Structure 1
């Protein structure tokens, strides 16, 4: 892996960032999800770096990047703010943004709020915020599949995981999906990063700070009126690469995208949720084909 650069942001935190490729090449920023780091993209960065300036941060709360205290510090606005501040720190005006899992959720929000900065958007198994929230009220299967979010919001979970041990956390939350891909030095790095003071709480605080409402499976909550109101479209060209075997984010997340993403390209791949680990070649192929046709 390329060495990391520590970058202080105007948001008051510091991120460790992997930088690769020519500085004068078209920039692309890669955002990882839970419970990962820039290592999400380890098999993808070398290809992109041939003709892009690649920026892959360890986001706030992860690895050795800053871990501010309190749930509010992980609100979506703060994390989107980090992204824009990172681009500014590197002198990047417009860029292609790629995100997986929580990184993809941040990417959707950033594209909606900062279309002047984000030229293209590539999403890997991360739900559009409106589609996801609506499905949690309207689709029983997606609601059932998302109950893990409620478990992650329980503040007793942090000590429970520490009591069980990080090897247990690795085996039950991550490695069962990507055992063959994450091993050796990568596994050791994750165990080390998760063992940093406050790391588990910081990572889980992303779930606790999210405004997404997850009703219980048998609940009959009043449906919020905003779910039937207009929602602004994403104006950029968007590529969605989706692991069809994802058991947490169901196909409805892709099927209901077209009304909200006018310029949409979808590539389904044979993988589960952790597509960058399970099928990196498919991600690269989809990105390269789309990049050749997308017009910012």
Structure 2
């Protein structure tokens, strides 16, 4: 693994990479509450075929941490990665997990010339996800934690008692226990950087997506620009079926927005499939990509 600080749109971002820079680029976008180093489980299985590049996204790790919720709207997050792709050389394959999927989808939808293939691992397209979160059913119930994370005091609650709150969130809200003590120590180091935890939570606060109360559907949602929310490149959706936060119905109808869609389920995994079975995830990627063979 190599690391460097990169200037993106005049701001400093920390970027990790694995593999030969002459190989095709795979841009790997982490979610909450991770950081670029979270891809260290998967990248070794792919580096013979890709130059794997994993930034700490805005507000995370050692990257730029602006204050204010307004600095975490999706368009701003996308602009960071546009600058990184232009630095790396477009087009690239983009992979997103959790919140990283929101940025990955944004790149594929709004900057299609920069993305030749899109891989999502337990992440959601905004239209099916908003539909299910607003319906007042199972996904609305599963997403109630979002309201908790958006609360003004959530950073204090999450960081209390040596980050016991965020550790509990990891272990209970999002699936099986895969965090060993050494890994948790690395995460705590990243969460403890000044201003980071509140900035990470600003991703939730800045999102316009609405969460209905269970049994109380939201019926007055603003119209979404459906024609602009289409993925035109080949799209692979990898899914850990035991995910407690993102339910399968949150991806129903995705084919309406991604005509060239391939779905692959990774058995016996949940939201954290990239950690739980990285070899199976890598093999699914290589089987889907043209001109790639078996994992090392």
TM-score, length basis structure 2: 0.91
The corresponding residue for 1:79 is: 77
Structure 2 distance, partners of 1:243, 1:220, is 27
CA-CA distance at 1:159 after TM superposition: 1.5
The corresponding residue for 1:174 is: 170
Answer yes or no: is the 8 Å Cα contact 2:29–2:96 preserved in 1.
yes
Answer yes or no: is the 8 Å Cα contact 1:231–1:260 preserved in 2.
no
CA-CA distance at 1:242 after TM superposition: 0.4
Q: Report whether the alignment pairs 1:203 with 2:200.
A: yes
Structure 1 distance, partners of 2:110, 2:225, is 21
Structure 1 distance, partners of 2:33, 2:229, is 30
The corresponding residue for 2:286 is: 288
5 Å matches for 1:57-206?
57-90=55-88, 92-138=89-135, 140-166=137-163, 168-176=164-172, 177-179=175-177, 181-206=178-203
CA-CA distance at 1:37 after TM superposition: 0.9
- Between stretches 249-258 and 96-105, larger displacement belongs to 249-258
The corresponding residue for 2:26 is: 28
Deviations 1:92-147 (A, max 9, x none): 11000000000011111110001111000000000101111111223611111111
5 Å matches for 1:235-254?
235-254=232-251
Structure 2 distance, partners of 1:253, 1:215, is 14
Structure 2 distance, partners of 1:169, 1:141, is 24
- Tell me: CA distance 1:291–1:228, structure 2 relative to 1, closer, same or farther (3 Å): closer
TM-score, length basis structure 1: 0.91
Answer yes or no: is the 8 Å Cα contact 1:145–1:248 preserved in 2.
yes
2:256 to 256, 259, 270: 259
* Partner SS for 1:226: coil
Root mean square deviation, CA, Å: 2.0
The corresponding residue for 1:4 is: 3
Q: Unpaired segments of 5 or more residues in structure 1?
A: none
* Partner SS for 1:174: helix
The corresponding residue for 1:45 is: 43
Structure 2 distance, partners of 1:187, 1:160, is 18
CA-CA distance at 1:214 after TM superposition: 1.3
- Tell me: CA distance 1:156–1:58, structure 2 relative to 1, closer, same or farther (3 Å): same
Structure 1 distance, partners of 2:36, 2:222, is 38
Deviations 1:158-183 (A, max 9, x none): 112233331x135301145453x432
Aligned residue pairs total 289
